[in-house]
């Protein structure tokens, strides 16, 4: 097997100059077909009906995941309201036992406005 010698800079420059000098030109048939396809696509786009814009409610539903996500959020909201207004006795007994056993009241655990004021 004969070894190929690498081309030097002068030989590479000659090859690149020859490649630049003979740029391939598309045939007239190809140009005509491309222009005909472009005109057909342009006519199809011009005759297309623009899509309707969605309303605010539809956009908000799409942002959260659609109707199934909205149903889940509504269920969670109703459940939270029910637990908040109609507190089960067992929950009050459990939380009351926890706070009295630790020696704290609920007000001791929540920050108040007086905590934000600095000493005089």
Q: Kindly give, in sequence order, each residue whose CB lies less than 8 Å from that of residue 67, ignoring residues fewer than 6 positions away.
A: 61
Closest C-alpha among 115, 95, 91, 113 to residue 104? 95
- pLDDT per position in the chain (120 positions), as tens? 567 888 888 888 988 888 887 778 899 999 999 999 999 999 888 777 777 888 998 898 999 999 999 999 999 999 988 877 776 666 667 666 666 666 666 666 666 666 666 665
Is the pTM of the predicted complex or chain greater than 0.75?
no
Exposure pattern of 38-70 as b/e (b: 16+ CB <10 Å)?
A: eeeeeeeeeeeeeeeeeeeeeeebeeeeeeeee
Cα radius of gyration (the chain): 39
């Amino acid at each position: 097997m004969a070894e190929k010698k690498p081309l030097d800079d002068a030989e590479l420059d000659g090859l690149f100059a020859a490649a630049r000098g003979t740029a391939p030109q598309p045939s007239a048939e190809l140009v005509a077909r491309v222009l005909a396809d472009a005109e057909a696509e342009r006519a199809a786009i011009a005759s297309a009906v623009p899509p309707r814009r969605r309303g605010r409610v539809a956009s908000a539903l799409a942002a959260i995941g659609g109707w199934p996500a909205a149903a889940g959020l509504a269920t969670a909201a109703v459940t939270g309201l029910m637990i908040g207004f109609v507190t089960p006795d067992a929950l009050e007994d459990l939380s009351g036992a926890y706070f009295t056993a630790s020696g704290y009241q609920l007000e001791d655990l929540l920050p108040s406005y007086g905590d934000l004021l600095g000493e005089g």
